[in-house]
Amino acid sequence: MDRNQLIGITLIFLLLFVYLQFFAPNPQPKQAMKDTAAQLADTTKKGTVTAVAPDAPNPNDSLVREQFRRQYGDFAGAATGETRDVVLENKDIRLTLNTQGGAVKEVLLKNYKTYNGQPLVLIDPQSSTMSLRLPTNAGELDLMRLFFTTSSPSPQVVREGDSSSVVFRLNVSPTQYVEQVYSLKGSGFQVGYDLRLVGLDNLVRNNPVRFDWTARLKRLELDIESSRITSTVNYYTAGEEFDYLSEASKDPEEKQVGEPIQWVSLKQKFFLSSLIARNTQISSAVLRSSVNPADSSTIKTLEATLTLPIADLKSGKGNYEFYFGPNDYQTVKNVADSFGKNVYLGWPVVNLVNRFIIVPLFHFLERFITNYGVLIIVLVLLIKTLLLPLVYRSYIAMAKMRAMKPEIDEMKAQFPDDMQKQQQEQMKLYGQVGVNPLSGCIPVLLQMPILLALFSLFPNLIEFRQQGFLWANDLSTYDSVATLPFVIPFYGSHVSLFTILMTISSIAYAYYNNQLTTIEGPTKTLQYIMPVMFMFILNSLPAGLSFYYFVSNVVTIGQQLTIRRFVDDNKIRKTLEENKVKNKDKKKSKFQQRLEDALRQAEEAKKANNGRPGTPPPARPTPPTRNKK
């Protein structure tokens, strides 16, 4: 290395030393950064953290003010501020609001717990995000990122039985501001929410305000799959139409609603987070739903993008209401028009049975019975008592068929290969003895709406939630008495004892019923197969439903055994013989005549097909047509 190279290297190191010593930035030590973050987290818990980070530009600097001015326009004064929590509280709910955005930060439902016994926080900053986008002259501005002042100088707790409200205001000038008012009554889950734009006509455009709400539904119940297939977005339009996104679909779903909406609910199995328009409407909406099966902490992600009419916000008609609470039919049916439809009560006919019979009866029994297992038993007894006349008629119909069985067997032997002839002779016999062949089916069909109503209602009754009975800790979900080391397809990896008892009782009822009926062949075998199929279906459904069907089967068997003691088959046989003589020359009813005519036509068609049933007669040749000249 020569002299010149040595001098060059020395000068380079000297320049680097001077730069690092006097000009290079001084990085904050890692420990200091951790201490700063800890202090920031600590002050956040206390509700007094500054919005501007410690190393951010000074908001009093003229260049920074100009930058905020360009970014936020006339609302630049609210770009910095202090975050502070304000609490509204009653006996049912604790609502935590924050001065940043004047937004809902957390909702705690006081009288409910999660499946693992933790306080039930319906939404928090990690699970729920909201934005309120105002169309200003400087561009679309998210008010939830700006800072409001509040009429309450310190956090407050509402006394039980008192109503309270808090006003959040974003001031542009003394006569120009955005105002959000939250109000809470002494009880209940409804939170009043008024949004007003005062004196801002020259600062905002006449486009709608956009309200974005994303809810990552927290896991609140034991059965995550059941929670997922009952979570969705419900909405009700100004045209009185109720609709929703698919519940069971695991694929992302999006729906655009172009007509005005009265309310939107982000629904999970037993709880709702809803926005309701009171003195205004939601102009339109885009609703989305998605699920990540690998994420066991989040049930679903629900999103609602709602447009709010800016004219109503300017004129003081921006009156809304939040509902944060249980999806309890007795509670939600009075919140808003058709808000009770958030509780699924089944198809139209079944819905009517639930609304006007089962639900009122259930809540009537709640006044006197606190144990829900006992309540189910009493409910079964009452319903079975109401249905006893139908059960009696069904039994008498089966007894009549048993009495006619020897003659029917004789007809089958007389026409072994002619099913239609057998049916003709049977219809003739029914007419002679005065028996309606459908009389045994009608009572069963009339009971079906009750069975379907309970099948729809029980999985959606929040009253069963975390109510124990016998070995079941929670009647709103399956009762697991054993966990399998493997998964059985369509069954699961747990064993529900109530479902097994229901299956055994159903098979016992099928066996007893087959002794009373004249059914033969595959239909008889099917009565044993169906209970086993239902065992797979009900294994993961609520224990309350399986217990109801178990008790129902036992009571039904008991009813039929009791009826059998008072019904004399020989007397019924004698009555049928008397009817046969009495109705010998009696004119056939229109219904019977139509059945016989239909059977006779089928017999004639069979003969025309050379004895091959189901084969259409040969087509007649089409006559040649003559050309018109």
pLDDT tens per residue across span 308-325: 999 999 998 999 999 999
| 474 contact partners, CB below 8 Å, separation of at least 6 | 115, 222, 464, 465, 466, 467, 468, 543
Cα dihedral sign for 361, 365, 367, 371?
negative
- Predicted confidence at residue 625, as pLDDT, reads 45
- More reliable by pLDDT, 32 or 315: 315
**SS3 string of 568-588?**
CHHHHHHHHHHHHHHCCCCCC
Given a cut of 50, is residue 47 above it in pLDDT? no
**% of the chain beyond a pLDDT of 70:** 74
Q: What is the 3 state secondary structure string of 30-51? A: HHHHHHHHHHHHHHHHHCCCEC
Q: Which residue has the tokens 């020989």?
A: 570
Q: pLDDT digits over 437-491, tens only? A: 666 666 667 778 888 888 888 888 898 898 889 998 889 888 888 888 888 888 8
Strand partners, 167: 181
Contact yes or no for 441/448 (Cβ under 8 A): no
Q: What is the dihedral of CA 116, 119, 121, 127, to 10 degrees?
A: -40
Residue 313 has what pLDDT? 92
Q: Any idea of the CA torsion for 179, 184, 185, 191, to the nearest 10 degrees?
A: 100
Q: Tell me the average pLDDT across 53-78.
A: 60
Give the residue, 594 or 540, on which the prediction is more confident.
Answer: 540
- Please state, in angstroms and rounded to a whole number, the distance separating the CA atoms of residues 629 and 627: 6
Query: What's the pLDDT band for 411 if we cut at 50, 70, 90?
Result: confident
Mean pLDDT is lowest, of 138-142, 270-274, 326-330, for 138-142
Average of per-residue pLDDT across 232-259:
91
pLDDT at 232: 94
CA–CA dist 480, 467 (Å, integer): 15
Residues 6 or more apart whose CB falls under 8 angstroms from that of 480 comprise 494, 495, 496
DSSP 3-state assignment of 250? coil
Phi/psi at 134 (5° precision): -100, 130
Q: What is the dihedral of CA 34, 36, 37, 42, to 10 degrees?
A: 120
Q: Name the nearest CA neighbour of 587 among 440, 404, 434, 439.
A: 434
Tens-place pLDDT, residues 360-392: 999 899 899 989 999 999 999 998 888 888 888
Could you tell me which residue, 346 or 602, shows the higher pLDDT? Answer: 346
Q: How far is CA 390 from CA 322, 352, 581, in A?
A: 46, 20, 28
More confident residue, 395 or 30: 395
Is the model's pLDDT at 427 over the cut of 80?
A: no
Residue 234 scores a pLDDT above 70: yes
pLDDT at 78 over 70: yes
109-113, 224-228, 563-567 — which one is most confidently predicted on average? 109-113
Q: What is the pLDDT of residues 503-534, one digit of tens each?
A: 999 888 888 777 766 666 666 677 778 888 88
CA dihedral sign of residues 608, 613, 616, 618: negative
Give the whole-angstrom CA distance, residue 313 versus residue 307.
12
Q: What's the whole-number average pLDDT of the chain?
A: 79
Q: For the range 350-356, what are the long-range contacts, defined as Cβ-Cβ under 8 Å and sequence gap of 24 or more?
A: 350/449, 350/452, 350/453, 350/456, 351/456, 353/449, 353/450, 353/452, 353/453, 354/453, 354/456, 354/457
- Contact of 379 with 552, CB cutoff 8 Å: no
Contact 202, 74 (CB under 8 A): no
* pLDDT above 80 for 498: yes
Q: Please give the pLDDT value at position 118.
A: 93
pLDDT score of 510: 83
Tokens 């970014």 found at: 71
Please report the pLDDT score of residue 272 as a whole number. 94
Would you place residue 612 in the very low, low, confident or very high pLDDT band (cuts 50, 70, 90)? low
Which domains occur in the chain, in start order? 73-343 (2.70.98.90), 356-478+541-582 (no CATH)
What is the SS3 assignment for 470? coil
Does the CA dihedral 323-325-326-332 come out positive or negative? negative
Q: Rounded to an integer, what distance in angstroms lies between the CA atom of residue 230 and that of residue 252? A: 15
Instruction: Please give the torsion angle defined by the CA atoms of residues 512, 516, 521 and 522, in that order, rounded to the nearest 10 degrees.
Output: -50
Average pLDDT over residues 416-427: 70
| Reduced DSSP (H G I as helix, E B as strand, rest coil) percent helix, strand, coil of the chain, to 5 | 45, 25, 35
- Above 60 in pLDDT, residue 4? no
Choose the weakest-confidence range: 17-21, 96-100, 210-214.
Answer: 17-21
CA distance 482 to 499: 13
Q: Which residues contact 612 (CB under 8 A, 6 or more apart)?
A: 606
Answer yes or no: are the C-beta atoms of 381 and 555 closer than 8 Å. yes
How much is the CA Rg of the chain, to the nearest whole Å? 37
CB-based burial, 512-529: b 16+ in 10 Å, e otherwise: ebbeebbeeeeeeeebee
pLDDT over 80 at 154, yes or no: no
Give me the phi and psi of 89, to 5 degrees please: -150, 140
* Strand-pair category, 164-173 with 85-89: unpaired
Confidence of residue 164 (pLDDT cuts 50, 70, 90): confident
Query: Coil, strand or helix: which one is 556?
Result: helix
Q: pLDDT-derived band of residue 37, with 50, 70 and 90 as boundaries?
A: very low
In this prediction, residues 295-307 reach a mean pLDDT of: 92
Any bridge partners for residue 254, and if so which? 288
**By percentage, how much of the chain surpasses pLDDT 90?**
32
Closest CA to 207 of 77, 314, 279, 281: 314
State mean pLDDT over 46-51.
34
Q: How far is Cα 536 from Cα 548, in angstroms, rounded to an integer?
A: 17
